[in-house]
Structure 1
Amino acid sequence: MYACESMADGSAVSRAICLCHRPEVGRLTRLINADLSRRGFVAGVAASVAALGLPFGAGAQPAQATQARPIVLTNFRLFDGKGATLRDGLHLVVEGDRIKSVGSGAPPAPEGAQTISCGGRVIMPGMIDAHWHSLFAALPLQVLLQGNMGFIHVAASGEAQRTLLRGFTTVRDLGGPAFAFKLAIDQGLTPGPRIYPSGAMITGSGGHGDLRPLSDVPRIPGGALSFTEQTGAAAIVDSPDEIRLRVREQLTQGASQIKLVGGGGVSSPRSPLDLTTLSEAELRAGVEVAKDWNTYATVHAYAPQTVQRAIAAGARCVEHAHLMDETTAKMMADKGVWLSIQPFLSEEDTGQLTGPNRVAALQVFAGTDNAYRLARKYKIRTAWGSDMLFNPALALRQGTMLTHLTKWYSNAEILTMATSTNAELLALSGPRNPYPGRLGVIEEGAYADLLLVDGNPLENIALLANPDSSLLIVMKDGRIHKNALKS
């Protein structure tokens, strides 16, 4: 069982950010594990939460019960997610989960509306993290490997609320059994960002995400699933036909996009970054199934040859690519392939690692600057994600990771990337998009995801690294999850 004092780096994590010390959570965990199947989690947790009287915060009402009163925001400066400057003298009206209007002046408020004067502060869209792991961000790997799914989901609910209060109203989940968890958030059982789920990451034997003990080797194709596969964290494949099966399974469960693992990774000690672990035929099979379902596949790849293979197989997006070279960058630009990359700079961003994991992390740190410079040089469509894993203290650095982009981008470019640009990447899921409204912008008809910032992030992007003090209002779907304005 997870305990705050048992972090991998030996440090203690504040009890204020951890659910494990709450007795009602312990009871809820036991109820879930004793009585619920994985597929029955969402229905059961609602009854368990009600029975325990467990408060999950201001957003715990059912999603269908939208904000009863319209909300009118006045006296603010606006960053709309697209422009490079702030706009003044505006009002904004929210009805239900959408922005009804944005206009100049201060017209009469709708009948019964709640009016909020923002004191001249900046309103911006809720931010989007394009590479997140909803169930894996805040728990150590050794705890996840125990497979206590009831506890994992309850702990993830606490992290989801913290993610939302950091200003991230939407995430793209790049691997993990997040389907039931997404439904719980959508149903209002627990507050959190909306989730674009990939489901299990699709990896080959020995590839990144294959965390089987060696006692499970050899694998028999068509045989019993490994523990990791049973939890829905990963699917191990070794042929185009197996990939087609596993990709279809994720899409059947509601995946908005598919994640294929083309090569090695940092957190898998037996798969160094130079590996290319899926053949072009295997990658192409996954890409084609995603295309048949009118969505897209993104490929985890670091090394140049792995990225190039993903491009040749038709991938619409590549995750990471920190080791790419000039030839690879030009190929991405020529083919219009998206780059979803994380600005990892040092062990502050990953925690202290040892052995093969540390070797891989040092390679990533060394390649980050070159990868971003190549992305800028060749005008590659670039998304930002944080990819925080296995540590609640690291998850708190989500906004700090965004500020790392100042090495290569202006503050306006950073804010645009974390809002409207990331939203464009999410829109590649087409009819598989679980949230087809406009995201990452503040305009009429868009989802009402708003942040009120105490300060000007166009001048000081570091404000977003300190959300507890700098974010005075956090709104998602027209519902206010935080309001720290003094009345």
Structure 2
Amino acid sequence: MHDILFVNARIIDTEAGLASDLVDVRISGGRIAEIGPKLDCPAATRIDANGRFMLAGLIDCHVHPFLADANISRLAEVPPTLMSARAVRILERMLQRGFTSVRDAAGADWGIRQAVEEGLIKGPRLFIAGRALSQTGGHGDFRSRTDDHDVCHCQHALAFTSRIADGIDDVRRAVREELRKGADQIKIMVSGGASSPHDPLERNQYSPSEISVIVEEAERRGTYVMAHAYGADAIRVALECGVRTIEHGNMIDQATAELAAAKGAYLVPTLTTYEVLAETASESSWSEAMLAKLALVREAGLESIRICRAAGVKLGFGTDLLGDSFDEQSREFLIRSQVESPAQILDSATRVNAEIVGQVDQLGVIKSGAIADLLLLDRNPLEYLSVLQDQGEHIAVIVKDGAIIKNRL
């Protein structure tokens, strides 16, 4: 791997909300080796940024590249081969939009992660959850009401999405099984959801005793639990049981947000998916009940961010897109800009998300010793968030793991 020397770049500090003066950045061995003025490395590949803005590689902490259908139940007709082929295209396009890392929130397995690591797929590095855990009748139970069979061990895309586990012993075994199969973190469903047909949105799922055991098993292996949750009470129970990240969280209230802040937990909003699902409702064949749930969470999304910002909750960045809508990934920046500053949003999508995936000072920052994931942007994203739109068109250079993925200079 050859050294790379960027000259005349302005580094974006997302935490401070500032762009640096012109500096040089040397990359060696896949990491940022040196930052300073007028660096010299004759053997390096030299790239003149010409005053462009350098941002750490983006991180999306809630993706589903294996759920390539907005109507999730239809995935029961999709074999793993087709599912994987679709996921490859989705991941490759994510990388071209500047997302050098993503956290899969159910569906991906260690095989697709390994394919990325071996360079067989040019996609973002993956932090996988394996199959999400759901109670019977919960957000991960997609059986029809006329289906009286036990959950099958089928080999189709829907079967990779979730597993049913009930009771202390069953959830304990399920966590151990997902970790055995290579999960980086554990995903659970603790409230109803919009995309599942029969579970009420406002009702809690999983008992505190079950959640506590799930958290215990994850922590024993040095990892954590991420929880799908909408209602304030479901979020509260999850936080009290030690869940580390709350996914969505649209219906959180002030008291619960203060509890999240006190516990140092994270909330990962996913607003763009609600907009896209509402716009494509006729194509997804969602039921009226599902669309009604979607309308509720969509309306509450921006207010949940206001509440959490005021309470001091650490906010990550996610998208939760399904089907053919993955090209809307960067739209999340614009939606959140209605209630947050560009610096806050960019910090969520870089430094804070790096904390969530356990990569503090390794990902999400541009500093000596960090992994060399970085973007060179035509305009200052602190002033023009639109520079991240248009499928990466305004990203001049993309570097992942110290390797040039894209270079149009």
Offset of 1:408 from its aligned partner? 1.8
1:465: which partner in 2?
A: 389
Give the unaligned 5+ runs of structure 2: none
Of 133, 155, 160, the residue aligned with 2:91 is 160
Offset of 1:287 from its aligned partner? 0.8
Q: What are the superposed Cα offsets for residues 19-42 of structure 1, whole Å, 9 maximum, x if unpaired?
A: xxxxxxxxxxxxxxxxxxxxxxxx
When the two structures are aligned, how many residues end up with a matched partner?
Answer: 404
Q: Is the contact between residue 311 and residue 332 of structure 1 (CA under 8 Å) also seen in structure 2? A: yes
2:192: which partner in 1?
A: 264
Q: What are the superposed Cα offsets for residues 279-321 of structure 1, whole Å, 9 maximum, x if unpaired?
A: 1111111111011112111111101121111122221121111
1:365: which partner in 2?
A: 298
Q: Is the contact between residue 101 and residue 444 of structure 1 (CA under 8 Å) also seen in structure 2? A: yes
Question: What SS does structure 2 have at the residue aligned with 1:475?
Answer: strand
Q: Is the contact between residue 192 and residue 204 of structure 2 (CA under 8 Å) also seen in structure 1? A: yes
Q: 2:75 and 2:157 mapped to 1: Cα distance?
A: 13
Q: 2:113 and 2:204 mapped to 1: Cα distance?
A: 31
Cα 1:230–1:464 shift into 2, 3 Å = closer
2:40 matches 1:108? yes
Question: What SS does structure 2 have at the residue aligned with 1:79?
Answer: strand
Of 372, 377, 388, the residue aligned with 2:321 is 388
Offset of 1:345 from its aligned partner? 8.4
2:148: which partner in 1?
A: 217
Offset of 1:143 from its aligned partner? 5.3
1:84-483 aligned within 5 A: 84-104=17-37, 106-110=38-42, 112-137=43-68, 141=72, 144-217=75-148, 219=150, 225=153, 231-344=159-272, 347-348=275-276, 350-353=278-281, 354=286, 355-391=288-324, 394-427=325-358, 438-483=362-407
Q: Is the contact between residue 177 and residue 231 of structure 1 (CA under 8 Å) also seen in structure 2? A: no
Q: Is the contact between residue 122 and residue 453 of structure 1 (CA under 8 Å) also seen in structure 2? A: yes
Q: 2:155 and 2:144 mapped to 1: Cα distance?
A: 10
Q: Is the contact between residue 54 and residue 377 of structure 2 (CA under 8 Å) also seen in structure 1? A: yes
Cα 1:97–1:138 shift into 2, 3 Å = farther
Amino acid at match of 2:306: R
Instruction: Output the aligned Cα RMSD.
Output: 2.1
Offset of 1:469 from its aligned partner? 2.1
Q: Is the contact between residue 267 and residue 357 of structure 1 (CA under 8 Å) also seen in structure 2? A: yes
Amino acid at match of 2:355: E
Q: 1:136 and 1:437 mapped to 2: Cα distance?
A: 31
Cα 1:324–1:468 shift into 2, 3 Å = closer
Cα 1:243–1:351 shift into 2, 3 Å = farther
Amino acid at match of 1:196: F
Amino acid at match of 2:7: T
Cα 1:216–1:149 shift into 2, 3 Å = same
Q: Is the contact between residue 82 and residue 441 of structure 1 (CA under 8 Å) also seen in structure 2? A: no
Q: 2:28 and 2:273 mapped to 1: Cα distance?
A: 42
Question: What SS does structure 2 have at the residue aligned with 1:322?
Answer: strand
Amino acid at match of 1:454: D
Cα 1:400–1:229 shift into 2, 3 Å = closer
Offset of 1:128 from its aligned partner? 0.4
Deviates more, 1:352-361 or 1:416-425: 352-361
Cα 1:345–1:292 shift into 2, 3 Å = closer
Cα 1:436–1:318 shift into 2, 3 Å = closer
Q: 1:351 and 1:226 mapped to 2: Cα distance?
A: 32
Q: 1:152 and 1:230 mapped to 2: Cα distance?
A: 10
Q: Percent identity?
A: 32
Q: Is the contact between residue 72 and residue 158 of structure 2 (CA under 8 Å) also seen in structure 1? A: no
1:15: which partner in 2?
A: none
Q: What are the superposed Cα offsets for residues 346-394 of structure 1, whole Å, 9 maximum, x if unpaired?
A: 6336543342221111001121122111101110111111111122xx2
Q: 2:344 and 2:277 mapped to 1: Cα distance?
A: 22
Question: What SS does structure 2 have at the residue aligned with 1:134?
Answer: coil
Q: 1:269 and 1:300 mapped to 2: Cα distance?
A: 16
Offset of 1:333 from its aligned partner? 2.1
Offset of 1:255 from its aligned partner? 1.2
1:15-54 aligned within 5 A: none
Q: Is the contact between residue 351 and residue 360 of structure 2 (CA under 8 Å) also seen in structure 1? A: no
Q: Is the contact between residue 386 and residue 402 of structure 1 (CA under 8 Å) also seen in structure 2? A: no
Question: What SS does structure 2 have at the residue aligned with 1:474?
Answer: strand
Q: 1:264 and 1:330 mapped to 2: Cα distance?
A: 23
Q: Is the contact between residue 130 and residue 173 of structure 1 (CA under 8 Å) also seen in structure 2? A: yes
Offset of 1:142 from its aligned partner? 5.7
Amino acid at match of 1:418: A
Q: Is the contact between residue 182 and residue 195 of structure 1 (CA under 8 Å) also seen in structure 2? A: yes
Q: Is the contact between residue 338 and residue 383 of structure 1 (CA under 8 Å) also seen in structure 2? A: yes
Q: 1:116 and 1:229 mapped to 2: Cα distance?
A: 43
Where does structure 1 differ by over 4 angstroms across 4 or more consecutive aligned residues? 137-140, 226-230
Q: What are the superposed Cα offsets for residues 147-174 of structure 1, whole Å, 9 maximum, x if unpaired?
A: 3111111121111110000000001111
Amino acid at match of 2:110: F
Q: 2:156 and 2:293 mapped to 1: Cα distance?
A: 22
Cα 1:138–1:443 shift into 2, 3 Å = farther
**Structure possessing the higher radius of gyration over alpha carbons:** 1
Give the unaligned 5+ runs of structure 1: 1-66, 428-434
Q: Is the contact between residue 177 and residue 232 of structure 1 (CA under 8 Å) also seen in structure 2? A: yes
Q: 2:276 and 2:238 mapped to 1: Cα distance?
A: 30
Amino acid at match of 1:211: F
Q: Is the contact between residue 171 and residue 193 of structure 1 (CA under 8 Å) also seen in structure 2? A: yes
